[in-house]
Amino acid sequence: MNAVEIEEAISNLAEQPFDAANFPYAFLEAFGNKETTIKRLRTGGENKSDVENGVLQRNNIHIAVCSLGNTNTILNELRSSPATAKAKFILATDGLDFEAEDLTSGETVACTYQDFPNHFGFFLALAGISTVKQIRESSFDIRATSRLNRLYVELLRSNPEWGKPERRHDMNHFMARLIFCFFSEDTDIFNGDDLFTGTIEQMSARDASDIDWVISEIFRAMNTKLEDRASGNFRPWAIAYARRR
């Protein structure tokens, strides 16, 4: 699995209702562990954890799910466990809080359970991917790439004709414009925080039935020069996108 595939698997895991009994195995599976490996940990003698509700993948990670409010206590227990001696990581969660430590570097992660996908780059060594600093720091970019990929797939699923050769250029052009808008609001090219996503959320209907029109108006404004703005008949929320040259 590559980093984008791992991010998608981890995000899907975080979006599901928390399953304490299954979490350690689902977490390992998200990082590319094979079904046979997971099965041996579940039912065989591979799991040598000495921590309650713990799962130890030898030489890799020691994971434990705990009762509410005990995440830090269990992380300390994992750290001091003799079984952890050769593990690279320790991880504890109660379904609300999430804490982990890289035992080689001493780096730690402490966040809510729902936010742990933002730190998936911290664990990429579990998949045999070199976790140099640049890769870890690009975790948010990888998440964005993965989400755009899922959007692309969903758009084609709902509009199969968009994937035909005669429409592929339009589809790719549309995705490129979306990427530019996301980049622009993150780098302050647009005025205001989260201008693009905020406009979409505020101005489109709850069922998204008119989102195509909202996006079209934004793109039309972006294609309009300043001197032509007055005659563009723009809605007030679209004026912010008109070009300033």
Count CB atoms within 10 A of the CB of residue 98.
Answer: 21
pLDDT exceeds cutoff 50 at 60:
yes
Alpha helices (runs of H) in the chain, residue ranges in sequence order: 3-15, 23-30, 35-43, 71-80, 133-137, 139-158, 165-186, 195-203, 211-222, 236-239
- The top-scoring range by mean pLDDT among 107-116, 146-155, 189-198 is 107-116
78 and 126 fall within a common domain = yes
21 and 73 fall within a common domain = yes
93 and 174 fall within a common domain = no
pLDDT exceeds cutoff 80 at 110:
yes
Query: How many residues would you count in the chain?
Result: 245
pTM over cut 0.85: no
Categorize the per-residue pLDDT at 243 as very low, low, confident or very high, splitting at 50, 70 and 90. low
Looking at the structure of the chain, the number of domains it has is 2
Categorize the per-residue pLDDT at 146 as very low, low, confident or very high, splitting at 50, 70 and 90. low
117 and 194 fall within a common domain = no
Q: How far apart are CA 54 and CA 127, in angstroms?
A: 20
pLDDT tens digits along 192-213: 778 888 888 888 888 888 989 9
- pLDDT recorded at residue 239: 76
- pLDDT recorded at residue 101: 95
Strands 61-65 and 108-112: unpaired
pLDDT exceeds cutoff 60 at 131:
no
10 and 117 fall within a common domain = yes
87 and 163 fall within a common domain = no
180 and 133 fall within a common domain = no
Distances in whole angstroms, Cα of residue 44 to Cα of each of 37, 38, 51, 96, 186: 10, 10, 17, 29, 48
122 and 195 fall within a common domain = no
170 and 102 fall within a common domain = no
pLDDT exceeds cutoff 60 at 7:
yes
Q: Range of 69's domain?
A: 3-139
105 and 48 fall within a common domain = yes
The set of residues, in sequence order, having a beta carbon less than 8 Å from that of 229 and lying 6+ positions away, is 239, 242
